[in-house]
């Protein structure tokens, strides 16, 4: 049985750690996994998180899909690699301006070479909530005097090995707690696949799309796209690969970000795939 779908967490020291360190650490990792899950378009309870009993200062987090027909069997491997990648970025990057290519180079040095995993890590790392969860795990281990270092293993190899003397430096460099308190609005921009539901060829009316299983309405700012309307046919069910942006606002009562559904904007249309073309290809196969 593959062990790619699990992470091994080792706390250096005499093997004894505070119970609040263990439970708090696991809670933060669970929240990060939910963010990874949501980024892929799944619900939190679609992923089963199992934890082995601590042994000699270490424990294993095992990830697997709840429904075989809903999520690919390899999803647990994907989520485990994504979580490892996020911790690697937190421990190695010095700014929040890394490009996708920068992050791919960092992860490849740690043998995380799957392009889809790299892209997912890049997308999730833009989420200040995920970085705050990772920071909290380092605060927890830094505050436990029994812990001398932190080791994380994936696919039977070390991806993180950090001495306690480095914990405080990482916390200070990645001070996302202060950032999330001050930054009440966050703009997201990323590549997305949209399915056309409603079209508007005149005026400034928003088009309707299905995005990650949800209906959204978005303005289109790509002038080149409107030129293609003169020569290409568009219909319900067609797909667009686009650069999509939207805004999230921090809700003080709920202490989390909420998407402003009125702010979806298509910055650029990269590819248009016709439903008719897709159907024709299916018939030929």
Asked whether residue 60 is domain-assigned, the answer is yes
pLDDT tens for residues 204-226?
Answer: 678 999 998 889 999 998 888 88
Quick one: 17 and 108 in the same domain?
Answer: yes
Specify the pLDDT at position 96: 63
- Residue 1 is assigned to a structural domain of this protein: no
As given in the structure block, the two tokens for residue 29 are 């990792």
Count of positions (residues) in the chain: 285
**Residue 250 forms part of a structural domain:** yes
| Structural domain that includes position 250 | 185-284
pTM of the model as a whole: 0.56
Q: Smallest Cα–Cα separation from 240: which of 223, 220, 259?
A: 220
Phi-psi region of 33 (alpha: psi -120 to 50; beta: other; left: phi over 0): alpha
pLDDT at residue 54, rounded to an integer: 62
Question: What is the C-alpha end-to-end distance of the chain, expressed in Å?
Answer: 34
Mean pLDDT of 249-254: 73
For the domain that residue 237 is a member of, what is the CATH number? Answer: 2.40.50.140
Structure token pair of residue 87: 């911790």
Quick one: 87 and 123 in the same domain?
A: yes
Range 160-189 burial, b when 16+ CB lie within 10 A, else e: bebebeebeebbeebebeeebeeeeebeee
Indicate whether 41 pLDDT > 80.
Answer: no
Give the model confidence (pLDDT) of 62-83 as tens digits.
Answer: 666 555 444 444 556 777 888 8
pLDDT in tens, 153-206: 877 778 788 898 888 888 877 765 444 444 578 888 899 999 999 887 665 678
């Amino acid at each position: 049985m593959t062990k790619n779908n699990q992470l091994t967490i080792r706390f250096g020291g005499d093997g004894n750690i505070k119970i609040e360190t263990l439970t708090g650490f696991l809670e933060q990792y669970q929240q990060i996994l939910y963010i990874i899950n949501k980024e892929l378009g799944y619900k939190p309870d679609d992923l089963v998180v199992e934890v082995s009993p601590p042994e000699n200062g270490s424990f294993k987090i095992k990830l697997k899909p709840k429904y075989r027909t809903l999520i690919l069997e390899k999803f647990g491997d994907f989520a485990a690699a994504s979580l490892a990648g996020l911790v690697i970025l937190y421990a190695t990057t010095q700014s929040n301006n890394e490009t996708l290519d920068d992050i791919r180079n960092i992860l490849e040095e740690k043998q995380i070479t799957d392009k889809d995993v790299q892209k997912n890590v890049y997308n999730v790392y833009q989420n200040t909530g995920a970085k705050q969860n990772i920071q909290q795990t380092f605060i927890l281990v830094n505050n436990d005097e029994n812990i001398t270092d932190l080791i994380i293993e994936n696919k039977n190899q070390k991806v993180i090995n950090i001495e306690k003397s480095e914990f405080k430096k990482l916390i200070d460099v990645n001070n996302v707690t202060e950032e999330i308190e001050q930054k009440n609005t966050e703009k997201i921009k990323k590549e997305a696949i949209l399915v056309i539901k409603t079209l508007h060829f005149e005026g400034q009316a928003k088009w309707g799309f299905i995005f990650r299983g949800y209906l959204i309405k978005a303005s289109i700012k790509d002038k080149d796209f409107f030129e293609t309307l003169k020569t290409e046919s568009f219909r319900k069910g067609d797909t667009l690969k686009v650069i999509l942006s939207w805004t999230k606002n921090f809700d003080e009562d709920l202490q989390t970000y909420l998407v402003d559904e009125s702010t979806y904007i298509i910055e650029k249309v990269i590819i248009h795939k016709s439903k008719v073309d897709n159907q024709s290809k299916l018939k030929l196969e």
